[in-house]
Amino acid sequence: MIIMMILSMIMIIISNIFIFLSFIISKKSLMDREKCSPFECGFDPKCLARIPFSLHFFLITMIFLIFDVEITLIFPIIPSFYLTNMIVWWKISSFFILMLLIGLYHEWNQNMLNWTN
């Protein structure tokens, strides 16, 4: 156990040394105005350099990611069935799935699940 703690401390110290060295050695300037501009050739841009962003597509992506994370949170419920009391397991899993269904209903009620506007 002590060997694991010593090795983890050594790895943390070595990684912090490398991070510190990379900040010292790097020549990147965070406040350079020319580097922050969309074109570095010296000319002013004639049109927007950024592509138009679809907020609706972004919200659908966030909903997908949230439900994807919730699916990964549901997976441990299945093996815990054999380790806990049946009534406690039923209450916890029912509460969790009820919260997911309430969130799904709210998103459906706000018309967030429509692909087109």
Could you tell me if residue 83 is inside a domain?
yes
Cα–Cα dist 98/10, whole Å: 45
pLDDT tens digits, 62-77: 888 888 888 888 888 8
Domain assignment of residue 36, yes or no:
no
For residue 24, the model assigns a pLDDT of: 85
Q: What is the spatial distance between Cα 58 and Cα 76, in angstroms, rounded to a whole number?
A: 29
- The answer as to whether 104 is a domain residue is yes
Q: Does the residue 21 lie in any domain?
A: no
> Average pLDDT in the 95-113 region?
85
Provide the residue range defining the domain that includes 97.
54-117
**What's the CA gap between 27 and 7, in Å, rounded?**
32
Residue 9 has pLDDT above 90, yes or no: yes
Domain count, the chain: 1
